[in-house]
């Protein structure tokens, strides 16, 4: 999964905008929306680019 954004609906529920691997022929131009609870249930691990980590956390990770 490639998470490209976070959105909230009218009730404040959080969804992750995910680029799917099926191409753009599927609805929403190749993106799906996954609920926060589903993401927590199904995710094993995550990776983020080192430049996306705030500086204060980078310093903690170095020690």
pLDDT digits (tens, 9 = 90+) for 19-52: 877 777 666 778 889 999 998 898 888 888 888 8
Is residue 31 within 8 Å of residue 24, measured between CB atoms?
A: no
Q: Which residue has the higher pLDDT, 14 or 58?
A: 14
Whole-model pTM? 0.65
CA distance 41 to 12: 19
For residue 63, what pLDDT is reported?
58
Tallying the residues shown for the chain, one arrives at 63
The DSSP bridge partners found for residue 14 are: 8
* Domain spans, the chain: 2-62
CATH number of 2-62: 2.40.50.170
């Amino acid at each position: 999964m490639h998470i490209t954004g976070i959105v909230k609906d009218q009730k404040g529920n959080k969804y992750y905008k995910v680029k799917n691997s099926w191409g753009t022929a599927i609805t929403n131009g190749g993106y799906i929306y996954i609920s926060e609870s589903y993401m927590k249930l199904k995710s094993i691990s995550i990776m983020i680019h080192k430049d996306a980590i705030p500086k204060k956390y980078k310093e903690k990770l170095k020690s």
